[in-house]
Amino acid sequence: MLRRIFILISFVSLVGTARANDVYIYELLKEPGYAQTWKRLLKSERKVPGWLSDENRFVANPEKKQSVGSTQYSISVVAKQHATNEGVAAILFTEDGQKAWAMIVEEGRKPRYLGAPSKEQIDLLDKALDE
């Protein structure tokens, strides 16, 4: 019985550690490379929703890592704060933060892709929003 309790405590500790190591887009955007790439992506598009261009107006899930071929990506899913059913976006960065793409889905509008993603990148963005 004591051994089971010890195993349970060890497992809970590991789960807590994994959560503590989660990386969110807010942290990525503090890094100059990611921040510059993000600003460049948003400026290259017309009529980007205000909630997406202001990190204080969205909530985010932890990033996930995904590879396509030899390219490693960081994928973040964000949603409009206080109205998550009105707007969500998946954001895809290359591992070095030098390139970015996004998919925006807002209530009553067609999905929009920012940054002209490839077919493989679109599949990653779609999959991220489906999860």
Contact 97, 31 (CB under 8 A): yes
Q: Is residue 9 part of a domain?
A: no
Q: Which single residue is written with the structure tokens 């707007």?
A: 87
Which residues does residue 65 pair with via DSSP β-bridges, in sequence order?
Answer: 74
Q: Is residue 86 part of a domain?
A: yes
Which residues does residue 94 pair with via DSSP β-bridges, in sequence order?
Answer: 73
Q: Containing domain of residue 91, as a range?
A: 23-130
**Single pTM value for the model:** 0.81
Q: Is residue 89 part of a domain?
A: yes
Q: How many residues does the chain have?
A: 131
- Over the chain (131 residues), the average pLDDT of each successive run of 10 is 36 43 91 95 90 86 90 94 83 96 92 94 93 81
CATH of the domain at 100: 3.40.1420.10
pLDDT tens digits for 2-32?
333 333 333 334 434 445 588 999 999 999 9
Read off the DSSP letter of residue 70.
Answer: T
Q: Is residue 14 part of a domain?
A: no
> What's the number of domains the chain is made of?
1
